[in-house]
């Protein structure tokens, strides 16, 4: 969408009626330009009511990100360098590019809308404006990539803890980096690294959380999905949610630097949705392995009990599917 459309969307975000004249005056634009902006908002998937004599109103209020409010919510407990953008193809891609030109430690980019969000194995992440929380965090480690095994699992745990603090119960973790609610995906994580094997290294952590799924968006997603507003039964304040997530990220990443994944292993396994389940793994090249998920190792590898004994599998391009519950 064009910048004017985002400006008009913020004016309409509370779900109250605004006249075309009032929107034009507040935007420094003509009424015709406001009308075009409303069309852009509708084209992006948001429903706008038009009533003669009253003006425009969103069918549902939208929680827009606000840098000032986020700064208040975060305080000094999580000193991130936070930037909010209207839209980006991928917040991970933006931060990876900035990392090469010296972007500071703990940089964060949150986007109102990701046009081309992506997950593991380059799978698309679908979301509409206001319907998801999509952001990326740049974290500089003194260690090399070889010492960061299990990081995606630790970050997944941080997401679950933040959701629980927000009031979500029943969230669990699917190895290696998905967050599920009653078997339906509610959040995903993508971690990308730069640097030398022995260090230092730069990690960009992307997260996407479903906040509100329209029927049209739900149909575009190729797996069972859940959203926070349906789970919680009320509108979600994305600023409060993002502040909680960043607070957990800060705590988990600092502890991970100190002690690695083993500090989180037991807590992760308590939330492991496939613990004791029969699962199928699809490995690179289409090779398949079946067995019982027996947790994870100190390095985050999935421990799969097979006919040949317990074997570790590292994430890479491995895909996991449940095959039933065992005792």
> In Å, what is the CA distance from 241 to each residue of 144, 229, 244, 324?
31, 12, 5, 33
Residue 321 annotated to the active site: yes
Alpha-carbon distance of 234 to 248, in angstroms, equals 23
Residue 118 annotated to the active site: no
Alpha-carbon distance of 212 to 240, in angstroms, equals 15
User: Could you say which of 57, 118, 120, 212 is catalytic?
Assistant: 120
User: Could you say which of 118, 161, 174, 185 is catalytic?
Assistant: 185
Residue 174 annotated to the active site: no
User: Could you say which of 115, 270, 288, 321 is catalytic?
Assistant: 321
Burial (Cβ within 10 Å: 0-12, 13-18, ≥19) of residue 107: buried
- Give the residue numbers marked as catalytic: 120, 185, 321
């Amino acid at each position: 969408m064009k910048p004017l459309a985002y400006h008009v969307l913020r004016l309409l975000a509370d779900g109250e009626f605004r006249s075309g004249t009032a929107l034009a005056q507040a935007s420094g634009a003509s009424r015709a330009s406001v009308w075009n902006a409303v069309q852009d908002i509708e084209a992006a998937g948001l429903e706008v009511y038009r009533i003669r004599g009253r003006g425009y109103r969103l069918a549902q209020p939208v929680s827009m990100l606000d840098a000032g409010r986020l700064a208040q919510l975060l305080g000094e407990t999580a000193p991130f360098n936070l930037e909010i953008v209207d839209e980006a193809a991928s917040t991970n891609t933006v931060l990876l590019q900035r990392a090469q030109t010296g972007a500071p430690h703990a940089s964060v980019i949150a986007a109102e809308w990701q046009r081309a969000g992506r997950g593991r194995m380059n799978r698309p992440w679908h979301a509409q404006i206001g319907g998801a929380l999509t952001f990326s965090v740049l974290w500089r480690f003194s260690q090399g990539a070889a010492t960061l095994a299990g990081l995606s699992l630790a970050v997944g745990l941080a997401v679950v803890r933040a959701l629980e603090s927000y009031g979500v119960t029943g969230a669990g973790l699917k190895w290696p980096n998905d967050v599920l609610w009653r078997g339906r995906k509610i959040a995903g994580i993508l971690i990308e690294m730069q640097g030398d094997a022995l260090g230092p290294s730069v990690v960009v952590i992307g997260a996407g959380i479903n906040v509100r799924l329209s029927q049209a968006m739900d149909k575009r997603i190729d797996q069972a999905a859940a959203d926070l507003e349906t789970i919680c039964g009320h509108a979600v304040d994305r600023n409060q949610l993002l502040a909680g997530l960043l607070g957990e990220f800060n705590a988990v990443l600092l502890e991970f630097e100190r002690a690695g994944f083993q500090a989180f292993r037991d807590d992760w396994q308590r939330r492991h949705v496939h613990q004791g389940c029969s699962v199928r793994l699809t490995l690179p090249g289409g090779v398949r392995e079946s067995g019982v998920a027996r947790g994870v190792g100190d390095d985050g590898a999935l421990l799969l009990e097979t006919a040949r004994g317990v074997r570790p599998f590292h994430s890479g391009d491995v895909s996991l599917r449940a095959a039933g519950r065992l005792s």
